[in-house]
Structure 1
């Protein structure tokens, strides 16, 4: 009887507790009164824009094109990294941008989102940034999942789009963004690149479009010319250094320059023999702006007047360059002196040299000749880096030839420290001639990044299908637009 009574009492207690929990309303006791009740698009945008800095300071292309090399711990300058993971772009910046577009297009959330800027301008900004990141990714890996990506369990193994298909998607994305932009309406809150100035976003979009057009000019010249000339007709492109697109930094640790961070406790990157050699051989005054004199050595055969270049020493690419003070470092203003020194994303020099190439192809570039644009591109590059006017004039007088090889060389020099663009244009133009590191296990300069092993492990069927189209998944299979 005692056991039965105990069990009965226990059952009644449990029933009462369950009934109480089922009916009592705890109200907002677990709500944070200071927390947002919906996604804040301004915060999503700010976080996504930080990826622009990551791309602009990406070290991979810098090392592959021998603008710099490594000191005592060579790795990527020996092409030692065999696979690369792109997941962070999908789960980070692109997901944030997708959410901005979703919030601003959903009638239930669009009204609340207007507190953070005009709806169309928010969508346009997100689309431009999404296309910018996608171009970086596809020009690195080639084919990527896209139209079936970002859909969770509905497409846990998304198909890949070819690079040609991705370029079509990006052109559409950019042109949709341009059509949405209103320069008389409020720009997005949280915009740390242009502070909501939509006229600058128009220039950003067209800079990306112009770059993409020239990138595909050897594989689809008709489409390339059409897209390039659309930018010229719009008039919204960079025409002077005052209009350069840069990523600006703050002085705090959370927002300062990645280049400055790289040299806080280590000195891993030094100027390469190739870059110093190009500048010295061409009596290019940018030598004195692109690096610092070596602390512990001099170059034995200087060529500039008064041996001004004796202190500028490049390191063998991929070697164990243990005594780094024997070589020239990148500019002190970038790595030591100023942790807010901006990162160029698109510059007048880059655009004018692109227009010079387009003029050689016979495309409409607004009436200027290839020779004029070539000269202006060099001038803008040197002016940006603080070269004296007299030295600019002397260099221009000695470099009057304007061939595709001349343009390729000048673009390579002008894109110093802009690793991704430098690497992409070097692959497309196959110039200037670079000698692969003799210390590499495979003495071939990479022309793409190989997929991380997780791609094959988690999406085997679609991985196999795209490899059958694109080619062997290694560092040496050329991308769709790299046909020369």
Structure 2
């Protein structure tokens, strides 16, 4: 009986405390007096823009297209990653960008948001960055939950938009962003890519638009031509290396280069034999710029005069290349310097895109495929510091003869730009790459499969997108990949 009385008393006591806690106002005891009380768009923008650096330095495409391979721990170079999760992009950078747009559009918040730059310029930059990240995502997975996404508990199982629908959305968004940009208005605060320079954001948007147009040129040539020629007509596109768009890093660990981070304690990545031997066989002087001499071996049959390339050695793709000093590393100014900028869009990329467009019969401003092709090679080599006489000699012996020439030179010029090199290789199906013999499935992947959580948490819409685009594996081609 005493035990029962004690238990009843305890329950009554807990109930009293709980009911009291529900009605007590604790004031601001849990508020951080030094923290923001509302979303600050400048902070959201900075956080989202960092994702651009992680995108352009993503290793997957670099390894799939055999520019680099791995040392003693092969993974992507053996195609062992069977599924990938896109949630971090949705809940991180894209959510931040959506919030910037919302705060600058809503009547109740746009005035406060305007303290961090004009509303329109903030919306434009957020939209451009969001489109850039979305293209990276859809070119990995295909269809994604987009128009019904970002609603939280109001719609926890959104439908997927197909990749074709996503590209339509991206073109609409990028054109809208371009229409909003006004360089005479206040620049966005927190812009770590261009420090608020809206002219450069126009250049970024047009570079993205040209890239998207070429991506769909085999599956929707009419739309691709229209969008590409809109950029040409604007006259606002990258034509020289001085206009190259780069991500510039800081000198502290929080904002330094991902490449330098990879080399702080390990040496996991080495030149692929595919890239190395392609450069060697073509007597391409970029060989000496793309790689460091191997420390512990030499190549037995050098091709350059005087055996100048003997110390440059590529590693087999997907093998356990345990003694990494036997092979060439990427250039030290990238791997061991914390603030070497990473190219996002370059003159070489745009020249090759224009060369392809000219070959398609599109308006490129009066030039020809052959001239633009040579200019693309020259721009790539100049950006890497190749001597002018070496450039002239290479260009003279590598004239334009057809689309495969553009595909090959673009693959070389996109060295270390994983997302673009992988996407363009899938679109061209050239150069011919031999899959790693050490892979369980010796086929180079052409997409990422969805993480298992998608099927578990959104089964009906998962099944709908798989029915629309094909089997959920690494080898189902995306909508624009029709070659």
Q: Same fold (TM over 0.5)?
A: yes
* Match in the other structure for 1:235: 235
Task: State the Cα distance separating 1:35 from its structure 2 match.
Answer: 1.9
Match of 1:195 in 2: 195
In structure 1, the residue matched to 2:80 is 80
* Structure 1 residue matching 2:69: 3-state secondary structure: strand
Q: Note closer, same or farther for the CA distance 1:33–1:371 as it changes in structure 2 (3 Å cut).
A: same
Q: Are the counterparts in 1 of residues 157 and 457 from structure 2 also a CA contact under 8 Å? A: yes
1:330 aligns with 2:330: yes
Pair 1:446-2:466 in alignment? no
**1:46-65 correspondence runs (5 A):** 46-65=46-65
Question: What is the CA–CA distance in structure 2 between the aligned matches of 1:28 and 1:243, rounded to whole Å?
Answer: 50
Matches of 1:120 and 1:169, distance apart in 2: 19
Partner of 1:177: 177
Mapped contact 1:374–1:402 kept (Cα < 8 A): no
Partner of 1:356: 355
Q: Distance in 1 between matches of 2:353 and 2:18?
A: 74
Alignment RMSD, CA only?
2.1
CA distance in 1, matches of 2:68, 2:25: 64
Which residue in the other structure is 1:263 paired with?
A: 263
Q: What are the superposed Cα offsets for residues 30-74 of structure 1, whole Å, 9 maximum, x if unpaired?
A: 443322121000000000000000001000000000000001111
Tell me, yes or no, if the aligned pair for 1:286 and 1:387 is still in contact at 8 Å.
yes
Cα 1:29–1:135 change in 2 (3 A) is same
Q: Which residue of 1 aligns with 2:279?
A: 279
Is residue 2:323 matched to residue 1:318?
no
Find the counterpart in structure 2 of residue 416 from structure 1. Answer: 415
For residues 342-362 of structure 1, give each alpha carbon's deviation from its aligned partner in whole angstroms, at most 9, with x where no partner exists: 110000000001000000000
Q: Deviations over 1:347-390 (max 9, x none)?
A: 00000010000000000001111111111111110010010001
Q: 1:4 aligns to what? A: none
Q: Secondary structure at the match of 1:254?
A: helix
* Equivalent-residue separation in structure 2 for 1:280 and 1:15 (angstroms): 81
In structure 2, the CA distance between the partners of 1:434 and 1:17, relative to structure 1 (3 Å rule), is closer
Aligned to 1:99: 99
Q: Which position in structure 1 is the counterpart of 2:341?
A: 342
Q: Which residue of 1 aligns with 2:291?
A: 291
Give deviations 1:423-466, integer Å, cap 9, x for gaps.
00000011111000011110100000111111111111110111
Residues 16 and 214 of structure 1, relative CA distance in 2, 3 Å threshold:
closer
C-alpha contact (below 8 Å) 2:69/2:318 kept by paired residues:
yes
Note if contact 1:157-1:458 (Cα within 8 Å) is conserved in structure 2: yes
Gap regions ≥5 residues in structure 2 = 1-7
**1:370·1:402 contact (CA, 8 Å) conserved in 2?**
no
- Residue of structure 2 in register with 1:139 after alignment: 139
Q: Do residues 474 (structure 1) and 473 (structure 2) align?
A: yes
TM-score (norm 2): 0.95
1:3 corresponds to = none
